[in-house]
Amino acid sequence: MTGDLGGYDCHRDHGPYAGVAAFLGRIAADRPRLAARHRVELYAIAPRLDPGARRAAEEEPIRFHPARRTAYLAYGAAEFVAAWAGSLRRPATVRFEHVNAADETTRELLDALARRLGPSPLQLDLCDGGSPEPTAADPTPEAIRIALGDSLARGFYHHAARTARRGRAAVTPDGDLRNWWAFTTGLATALAALDRATEALDLYHEARAATDDPKITMSAAYATAMLYARHLPAADQDPARARHWLERALHLAAGLDDPRQRILSTVFYEQGLALLDSRAGEPARALRLIDDGLARLSAVLAPGERPQDLARLRHNRAQVHLALGDPAQALADLDTVIAHDPDNCEYYVDRAALHRAAGRSSAAIRDYGTAIRLGPHLPEAYYNRAVLHQERGRMERARADLDRVLAIDPGHLDARIALVNLQVARGALDAAEASARAGLALAPQEPALLCTLGLIRSERGSLAEADELLTRALAGEPGLVEAWTNRAAVRFDRGDVAAAVADLDRAVALSAAPVPRYNRGTALMRLGRWDEAARDFTEALAQPGLDRALRRDLRAELARCRRQK
């Protein structure tokens, strides 16, 4: 498959991943074994590649994907295309048309492709024009509703919002209340996922003004509660208002005619109360609600029915057990959850954290790997696995995972800091400086990066620049011991020993670690303050777990102090 690969229409009227999904399908057919290694992201982007796929909306998810998931899908798809392109024997060009009118998912994937391919046998020709503008059909409200549900379930929120607005423009609450409400709550769901929860709140107020239908007002009350509890900006979240709306939803649920639906709705809404109780420092009360909910669900559900609902409650209970200081019971719940819902990456991340806290590094690494496979490509799972690899001395594996995090999410500061520190530790100062500056381009005042870059510049003899960088780090985080210690070293090297001692006074006040005391003792000796220096060396020697070389140096300096008396 070489030469001109033809053109693909990316116009948003054709839906999420228009054009790019067809291209991915074409090369998946060319390299099925390679495609199999990327099947999670390929099936999410192009469901027609999945032989067992159903419409996502038919699976009735109880939790929607985070909006950032599309960036992870784009990363995986770009890796797939890059691997395929690397096997091309001669250059090839693929043309994508109507890029200016593409859905956000398409543009995100094309951007990821452009970044990943770089110099490559595969060239992308991104065109704003191309074939004639698509002519939009006029689907029925039912068809719009199905398309909306599918986009929401797959996490394609920009397209879902456009679809919902189109539906709201086609119906009125007086003429078609059922579909109008579906479009309204669908739009609110999409907006909340896109961090536009204030607009979503207005839509639920509009719904309450438009109808007093008990089922609609019940659902609107619960959704409003979750906006106040979770989705509004932090300054606007209000647990008291959230509880008020949850109680309103529960009151309306109690009036439902169908006893089974009454129980299902009540249990579901009570999980919101359990969340609020747990956050309010009442985990025991939250646990009673969850246990009672599980008992009532088990009584009305047939064996094997709605396993994800039961899994979600058990997952909630695991979090509460953690809050109650019972990690063993939390782990037992998560084991049960994963047995019943084995394809949810979130559960593996949570279980990995428990394994990690208990010192079971191998089990944690396995769970993070599963989460990465199912996620797909979760930056936090890669990052946490990198930390574990580093703790076990597997520095190359740690570096590879940190590189992967930054390829997926260049703004992941924790990964950037960890990578820079790892590069410094192995003496790769050129790489470390480049990584630190790349991070500071995104977060110019990040104290940890300023501190490490200051250390690098001091190692290279740029003492004035190092002093300035470390001063900026301390302005942002006055409690950063490493910055006080490093600036002291810079000022010592510049001959300002008194300023170095002042910085080390701050470091010693913040930390009992032996190195600041060792450094201060060294500076005090330069000033002839032998008794004070001896006290620092003595106190540093009293710290447990000293490195053998540091212990030797401390003893030598202490002996030197004593000889001066």
Instruction: Find out whether 20 and 109 touch, Cβ atoms under 8 Å.
Output: yes
Question: Terminal CA-to-CA distance of the chain, rounded, Å?
Answer: 83
Instruction: Find out whether 290 and 273 touch, Cβ atoms under 8 Å.
Output: no
CA distance 565 to 562: 5
Tell me the mean pLDDT in the region 391-408: 95
Pseudo-torsion of CA 10, 61, 368, 330, nearest 10°? 160
CA distance 157 to 192: 9
Ramachandran angles phi, psi of 6, nearest 5°: 85, -175
* 134 or 347, higher pLDDT: 347
pLDDT of residue 59: 44
Instruction: Find out whether 200 and 188 touch, Cβ atoms under 8 Å.
Output: yes
Q: Shortest CA distance to 308 belongs to which of 427, 417, 189, 153? A: 153
**How does pLDDT run across 312-362, given as a tens digit for each residue?**
999 999 999 999 999 999 999 999 999 988 988 999 999 999 999 999 999
pLDDT of residue 135: 55
DSSP single-letter state for residue 377: S
How many H-runs (helices) and E-runs (strands) does the chain carry? 28, 3
**How does pLDDT run across 165-202, given as a tens digit for each residue?**
999 999 999 999 999 999 999 999 999 999 999 999 99
**How does pLDDT run across 421-471, given as a tens digit for each residue?**
999 999 999 999 999 999 999 999 999 999 999 999 999 999 999 999 999
Instruction: Find out whether 342 and 367 touch, Cβ atoms under 8 Å.
Output: no
| Residue given tokens 């010693």 in the structure block | 508
**How does pLDDT run across 248-301, given as a tens digit for each residue?**
999 999 999 999 999 999 999 999 999 999 999 999 999 999 999 999 999 999
**How does pLDDT run across 373-398, given as a tens digit for each residue?**
998 899 999 999 999 999 999 999 99
With a pLDDT cut of 90, the percent of the chain lying above it is: 88
CA distance 505 to 487: 12
pLDDT of residue 130: 55
As to burial, measured by CB atoms within 10 angstroms (0-12 exposed, 13-18 middle, 19+ buried), residue 32 is exposed
Residue 7: strand, helix, or coil: strand
As to burial, measured by CB atoms within 10 angstroms (0-12 exposed, 13-18 middle, 19+ buried), residue 561 is buried
